[in-house]
């Protein structure tokens, strides 16, 4: 597999996990329904669509945005909003509120993970070392 496709696979997996997590966090209801297969189906559809949109973005000149921390978070937030709006109807009283909140949470997760996992997860390894000492 070429390094270009390996990079695209990595982008897809990251863009699948972050929106799926954000979607499960933002769905209305209590934390007791976190194991609901219906909610997981919607969250996985949102993640898959966001991942596919991110893959399509890699074929355009706009793919350069994915290499910058804040641009990446913004793009992932927007793609998650689009993916969530396409996957299901909102549960809140305001039409697009849930989709926008899901996109914002996904962008925040993306930004946070970019700090945690930069330089081969240097910050996580240092925290783990401090915790063991």
Supply the range of the domain harboring residue 54: 3-132
| Per-residue tokens: 126 | 């240092």
Q: How far is CA 123 from CA 71, 73, 102, 118, in A?
A: 22, 19, 26, 8
pTM for this predicted structure: 0.78
* 69-87 vs 3-26: helix crossing angle, rounded to 10: 60
Measure the CA–CA gap between 24 and 43, rounded to whole angstroms: 6
| pLDDT block averages, 10 residues each, the chain of length 133 | 84 84 74 79 88 89 86 90 82 76 88 82 86 86
| Number of domains present in the structure of the chain | 1
């Amino acid at each position: 597999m070429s390094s270009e496709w390996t990079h695209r696979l990595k982008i897809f997996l990251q863009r699948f996990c972050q929106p799926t997590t954000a979607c499960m966090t933002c769905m209305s209801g209590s934390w007791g329904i976190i194991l609901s297969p219906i909610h997981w189906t919607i969250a996985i559809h949102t993640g898959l669509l966001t991942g596919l949109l991110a893959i399509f973005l890699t074929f355009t000149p706009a793919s350069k945005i994915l290499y910058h921390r804040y641009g990446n978070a913004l793009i992932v937030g927007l793609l998650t909003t689009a993916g969530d709006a396409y996957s299901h109807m909102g549960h809140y009283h305001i039409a697009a509120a849930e989709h926008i909140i899901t996109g914002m949470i996904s962008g925040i997760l993306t930004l946070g993970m970019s700090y945690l996992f930069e330089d081969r997860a240097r910050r996580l390894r240092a925290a783990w070392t401090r915790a063991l000492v």
